[in-house]
Chains A and B, each alone.
With several copies, the nearest count.
Chain A
Amino acid sequence: MLTKEDLIIVDNIQIARDTYEMKLTGDCVQRMTEPGQFLHVQVGDGWEHALRRPLSIANVEDDCVSIVYKVIGFGTEWLAKQPVGKTINVLAPLGNGFSYEGVKNQHVLLLGGGVGVPPLYYLARKLKERGNSITTVLGFQTKESIFYEEKFQKLGSCYIATDDGSYGTKGFVTDVVKECAFSVDQYFSCGPTPMLKAVIQSMSIPGHISLEERMGCGVGACFACVCEANNDIDVKGYRKICQDGPVFPASEVVLP
């Protein structure tokens, strides 16, 4: 049975411009074995904020789950203010993550943009455990927004692109990929839709992408978060991002 659970905040610190890392502990953490799954997080007191916020699992270590979030509105602002020791109510783990189990001894490319970076870290750790070699390319707005660079470097090579060129390559993650012409077996990507589109277009190898959409229930009941599915695959024609995803084979979905 799934349930809601109050997780305890163990840590909540700023790690980049407007970006925080929160560590939480509780029973359901032990079920968080799949990178790419997410927590559906209740924010605020009372019912002024009726919807939960989906946030990706960034890492699981020492019975703690990490989330990395960018402050953009009420919910993330509220999260940033919560002190260690407080509890946060979550539904978790939700969704289907990156299928990494069968990936062994390959060269894998991870492509992340902004707040799409966090889930790739937990994935990188899982892939590394399975003997894969990992190259990561991360895109950020500017130097001050960068986080987790060293963490990824410990697991393989890590390239950075910034929109304004203030650090690493000026441009997008796809620009780095073009430049470097890696030879990789498959890729995993998470980031804003325009980035994902560019990634899919520029890559000729198989890949998985993680999608974002505004959510209601987070569990598949409300049909808020559908995306178009590739018609060749089935006639249903859609996927629910919260339940069927958020991770899909790049060939399975059609981005808007």
Chain B
Amino acid sequence: MTLFVQLPGLSLRNPILPASGCFGFGREYSQFYDLNKLGAITIKAATGEARFGNTTPRVAETSSGMLNAIGLQNPGVEKIISDEIPFLEQYDTPIIANVAGSTEEEYEYVAKTLSDSGKVSALELNISCPNVKEGGIQFGTDPTLAASLTKRVKEVSSVPIYVKLSPNTSDIKEMAMAVEAAGADGLSMINTLVGMKLDIGTGEPILSNSTGGLSGPAIKPVAIRMIYEVSQVVNIPIIGMGGVTCKEDVLEFLLAGASAVAVGTANFRNPLICPELIDALPELLDQYGYSSIEECIGRSWKNARQSAAISRT
């Protein structure tokens, strides 16, 4: 049984990777296990300049999920390249850099700088961060803006671009097709849903940013639905995420149409989740009669198409 998956720019020894923002720049979880276990590593969002993010509290727990409003805190793209990525270069694991910004120019600058560094295998274009006041979210909900941004970033980047889609939209397929047409090499979905929790004692939002991004098992049904819909209308691969906590979830994402699966929130509860999932996958696939990752991808709708084709003949 091989777990190998080939995606644009990414030769993954297995389809499991940590999701951006939930794994810092790798150092912390390298205390728990050898990062060479992972299919790839998605690092925290980079912006043009250092950002200090939102005031705390930045996280709150919700039923089967959590809210976060970190606000893209990061030392800026140059410091990330000089101080953070070198640590990860000791591993033989592809790095996906998450690119954020407030303006097209900033996105372009960050993408170009990362691409030119020659140190990352792919870029994940974060057009969907719900936690910054300006920028981010508009790109994530307007297909025209998203396409234009994708195009610009594509032009300055020599590594493949995965566009990370926001679920806070009424038509995810339209978004996906727009960025595909603009040149995206892959998609990454889903980012968080915008949510809020109140402290009933003070009567006010728990997060100082008021709203935050909802992640964790609570949003898995939304992620599965969107991946199922989008994978049928695009020809580029999808890195799926949103609420993965167990091996069955990984298979569900693959069946829905994802080609690789990222794990976010679950790292916080179980720092060993990624290696545990990777170790469990071969037996699981075998149990359900699959002999490669490839075979699982999109099986949920490919099955239906095949039986439709058969019944037509």
Contacts and interface: CB of A to CB of B under 8 A. Distances in A.
Q: Please determine if A and B sit in direct contact within the complex, based on CB atoms under 8 angstroms apart.
A: yes
Interface of A: 1-4, 42, 47-52, 91, 213-227, 236-238, 243, 256
Contacts of B61: 49-51
Contacts of A52: 268-269
Contacts of B58: 214, 216, 223-226
B70 A223 contact: yes
Interface string B3-45: 0000000000000000001111001110111000000000010
A226 B269 contact: no
A42 B269 CA distance: 7
Contacts of A256: 55-56
Majority DSSP secondary structure for residues of A touching B = loop
B56 A47 contact: no
Contacts of B73: 223, 226, 238
Nearest to A74: B61
Contacts of A213: 56-57
A222 B272 contact: no
Contacts of B28: 217, 219-221, 243
A91 B70 contact: no
Contact of A221 (B23, B65, B216): B23
Contacts of B56: 213-214, 224-227, 256
21 contacts: A4-B271, A47-B216, A50-B65, A50-B269, A91-B271, A213-B56, A214-B56, A214-B60, A216-B58, A216-B68, A216-B268, A217-B267, A219-B28, A219-B29, A219-B31, A220-B24, A223-B24, A223-B53, A225-B56, A226-B56, A227-B56
Contacts of B63: 47-48
Interface residue range, chain B: 35 or more
Contact of B59 (A42, A47, A215, A221): A215
Given A1-B31, A1-B33, 6 more contacts: A47-B63, A51-B269, A213-B57, A218-B268, A220-B24, A223-B21
B269 to A, nearest CB: 6
A2 B270 CA distance: 12
A50 B271 contact: no
Contacts of A226: 52-53, 56, 58, 73
Given A47-B245, A221-B29, A2 B52 contact: no
B64 interface: yes
B38 to A, nearest CB: 14
A1 B58 CA distance: 28
A222 B21 contact: yes
Contacts of B55: 256
A224 B207 CA distance: 11
B67 to A, nearest CB: 10
B64 A50 contact: yes
Contacts of A223: 21, 24, 44, 53, 58, 70, 73
Interface of B: 21-24, 27-29, 31-33, 44, 52-53, 55-61, 63-66, 68, 70, 73, 75, 206, 216-217, 245, 265-272
Leading 9 A-B pairs by shortest Cβ distance: A221-B24, A221-B28, A224-B59, A214-B57, A2-B31, A219-B28, A217-B268, A220-B28, A224-B58
Given A219-B31, A221-B28, A3 B216 contact: no
Contacts of A49: 61
A216 B73 CA distance: 15
Nearest to A238: B52
B70 A222 contact: yes
Nearest to B72: A223
Contacts of A238: 52, 73
B271 A2 contact: yes
A226 B72 CA distance: 13
Given A47-B64, A214-B57, A215-B59, A224 B271 contact: no
A216 B265 CA distance: 8
A4 B272 CA distance: 8
Contacts of A216: 58-59, 66, 68, 268
B216 A2 contact: no
A219 B66 CA distance: 17
Contact of A4 (B27, B59, B65, B270): B270
Contacts of B33: 1
Contacts of B217: 47, 50
A216 B271 CA distance: 11
Contact of B268 (A2, A3, A51): A51
A213 B271 CA distance: 20
Nearest to A51: B61
A255 to B, nearest CB: 11
A256 to B, nearest CB: 7
Contacts of A243: 28
Contacts of B206: 214
Q: Which of B70, B269, B270 has the most CB of A within 10 A?
A: B269
